[in-house]
Chains A and B, each alone.
Chain A
């Protein structure tokens, strides 16, 4: 055994997918311990929420998971609706499902693309980003923003679908599955990417459950748990879709099931567009200033990263007394020391990428 070396990676390092510092203890090139140091992006969003009205908190939730803002919007709004007893019109629920499944594609394209970049397959990154850009343009047409949408609001969504949007959306879902098959061959069929990803950072199903992992990180290990199916919310029970599962729990499975999830998302979007009926997109008669009755409520949704929950406590005033965001990226990142041990330093980057953390949500 050689002398142990301590290497500091980050906080600003392209392969850390954001501002994350990892203190790595190395024996030669082998990682004996990797400790993520987080909090560089901590803005105190939970504290800031206590100083804003319920509606003013929605833009803050955009800044949590900034590659998947729709999810945090929705999770927060569901908690508010539960607390204030608001009934959401059916059309708004369908629109929420459509935008959130599009968001899953946009977010997974970022995740898969960066897996490609981490393993040296930069072409795959460009292919994935071309798909992501389609979705972001759809969102821009929808609400004017490409990243922080502020679209899902308590009681519904901020505005109805613009003219011609449904056709644009159908055009996207028509080409997306074949683009995914192409990306699958390009990235996951690539011998170098396979060598870099297979058998790296193996997570057992038991560990995934015990460590509170969720989303593709848990499903990559074969944990058959998806809130859309297992704790159904909104109009998800009306759709027919599969939950892709991995077998080995390695970085390859975690990254690759994201790709199949995108294909399933397309199926959900198509079914939702077929069932979409005209109607209200926001509950009527909502007060300008929400002041829910005292109490607490929790609601969670399946975001691109896993179970995203929002816990709200109301004291009857127009400001939340306490807001807590149960962040899937935070819980999944806690697995890094477990997964990285015994692998090489270059594999650490791949493992971190396969967990697909977004540090806006980790640090809040």
Chain B
């Protein structure tokens, strides 16, 4: 299914999600409000996106952008879902109840960004040790061992 067919399919089944859909670099992107993320993810799963490929986050400076990559085997299509949460109260609903695959991936985001996932059954650090201080993938994370490499321009 190409991107236009995906848009039509989405718009006919879930008209309220339609205005949130856009195309970037050939990929379908759905930008939702953080509080609506779980509902939108649930709708997309019902639409046929049966696989959760990836959960990650980007530190945009003043906010965190959560990025979910969903895949449909039946439609042969992928879609991104993005939601922004503020830095100081970084929290979003977990999607582990929809896809168990989110379990470890959300733990990783929690570990490296410090974003909490409400309703996650087992939210602990996964890659770093339990006593680690800070969340390394935040842009303001500081560590003496990080050496800024010179600019080559």
Interface contact A326-B137, CB-CB below 8 Å: no
- Number of residues on chain B facing chain A (CB within 8 A): 40
Minimal Cβ-Cβ distance residue in B for A288? B152
Q: Does A331 reach chain B (CB closer than 8 Å)?
A: yes
Q: Does A196 reach chain B (CB closer than 8 Å)?
A: no
Tell me, in angstroms, the Cα distance from A324 to B146 when the chains sit together. Answer: 19
Selected contact of A211 from candidates B24, B26, B101, CB within 8 Å: B101
Selected contact of A47 from candidates B54, B69, B137, B151, CB within 8 Å: B137
Question: For chain A, what secondary structure do more than half of its interface residues adopt (helix, strand, loop), or is it mixed?
Answer: mixed
Q: Does A3 reach chain B (CB closer than 8 Å)?
A: no
Minimal Cβ-Cβ distance residue in A for B149? A51
Interface contact A212-B152, CB-CB below 8 Å: no
Interface string of B138-153 (1 = CB under 8 A from A): 0000000011110111
Q: Does A298 reach chain B (CB closer than 8 Å)?
A: yes
Tell me, in angstroms, the Cα distance from A321 to B65 when the chains sit together. Answer: 13
Kindly list chain B residues whose C-beta atoms are within 8 Å of the C-beta of A52. 149
The verdict on A313 contacting B58 (CB below 8 Å), with A212-B101, A296-B24, A331-B101 known, is yes
User: Nearest Cβ distance between residue A245 and chain B, in whole angstroms?
Assistant: 14
Interface contact B101-A322, CB-CB below 8 Å: no
Interface contact A326-B54, CB-CB below 8 Å: yes
Residues in A217-253 with C-beta less than 8 Å from chain B = 223, 225, 230-231
Interface string of A25-61 (1 = CB under 8 A from B): 0000000000000110010101100011100000000
Q: Does B43 reach chain A (CB closer than 8 Å)?
A: no
Q: Which of A82, A331, A363 has the most CB of B within 10 A?
A: A331
Q: Which 7 A-B residue pairings sit nearest by Cβ, starting from the closest?
A: A212-B101, A39-B127, A326-B54, A324-B56, A334-B104, A42-B127, A297-B25
Interface contact A295-B24, CB-CB below 8 Å: yes
Residues in A75-92 with C-beta less than 8 Å from chain B = 82-83
Interface contact B58-A321, CB-CB below 8 Å: yes
Minimal Cβ-Cβ distance residue in B for A41? B127
Q: Does A171 reach chain B (CB closer than 8 Å)?
A: no
User: Nearest Cβ distance between residue A44 and chain B, in whole angstroms?
Assistant: 6
Tell me, in angstroms, the Cα distance from A300 to B78 when the chains sit together. Answer: 11
Selected contact of A311 from candidates B50, B54, B103, B126, CB within 8 Å: B54
Q: How large is the interface on A (under 10, 10 to 19, 20 to 34, 35 or more residues)?
A: 35 or more
Kindly list chain A residues whose C-beta atoms are within 8 Å of the C-beta of B54. 298, 309, 311, 324, 326
The verdict on A42 contacting B152 (CB below 8 Å), with A47-B136, A51-B146, A209-B50 known, is no
Interface contact B53-A225, CB-CB below 8 Å: no
Interface contact A330-B104, CB-CB below 8 Å: yes
Q: Does B110 reach chain A (CB closer than 8 Å)?
A: no
Interface contact B128-A298, CB-CB below 8 Å: no
Interface contact A225-B80, CB-CB below 8 Å: no
Kindly list chain A residues whose C-beta atoms are within 8 Å of the C-beta of B104. 330-331, 334
User: Nearest Cβ distance between residue A60 and chain B, in whole angstroms?
Assistant: 12
Tell me, in angstroms, the Cα distance from A313 to B146 when the chains sit together. Answer: 21
Q: Does A69 reach chain B (CB closer than 8 Å)?
A: no
User: Nearest Cβ distance between residue B106 and chain A, in whole angstroms?
Assistant: 11
The verdict on A326 contacting B58 (CB below 8 Å), with A51-B146, A212-B53 known, is no
Kindly list chain B residues whose C-beta atoms are within 8 Å of the C-beta of A286. none
Interface string of A298-341 (1 = CB under 8 A from B): 10100000010101010000100110101000110010000000
